[in-house]
Amino acid sequence: MDKTILLASFIFPERLDWFLGYLEKKFAISNDKVFVYKNLDDEDKVIVTFKFLIKNNKKINFKDLFPNALSVHKKGDAIYTINALNKLILDLTEGEEGNIDYKSYKIDWQAFQNKMLIIKNNELILYNIKRIF
C-alpha cells in the first residue's frame, strides 16, 4: 500500500526555482502541491513543504534524495516534527509527577499557528513562519 509523508526542506532562496523544478521533473510533484514559507527568525533559508509518495511501502531513505529535509506534520498553520512535539509536551508538563501520556496530551494549537517546531542541538526551536506561496 502506498504511503504519503509530509516533508519540509530548508532551501537557500536562490536555489528555490531549481528545487521546485527538481521536485516536478524527478518526482512529478507540481508547484501547486508545494508550499513555501519564509522563516522570519532566520532568513538565510526558506522552508519548502511537500507530500512525498512512497509506493508499496518500499524502504526509502528520503535523506538521500533531500539532505536538508525533515519528516513533519501539520495542525492548521503549525508545522512540527514528532520529536519537537514530544519535547514541547515534556516542557509543558515540567514538574508533573509520574509518566506522561504523550498520545492523549492536548496541545493548544492556536498558540503555535504560523510556527515551525523542530529540535536543534537537543533544544526545542520555534520558528515564526509566513507562507509565501
User: Cβ(84)–Cβ(117) under 8 Å?
Assistant: yes
Q: Which letter does DSSP use for residue 14 in this model?
A: G
Name residue, grid cell 508547484. Answer: 31
Rounded distance, CA 82 to CA 27, Å? 25
DSSP 105: P
Dihedral of CA atoms 54, 119, 31, 113 in degrees, nearest 10, equals 120
Q: What is the pLDDT of residues 6-55, one digit of tens each?
A: 999 999 999 999 999 999 999 999 988 999 999 999 889 999 999 998 88
Q: For residue range 60-107, what is the model confidence (pLDDT) as tens digits?
A: 788 888 888 999 999 999 999 999 999 999 998 886 766 888 888 899
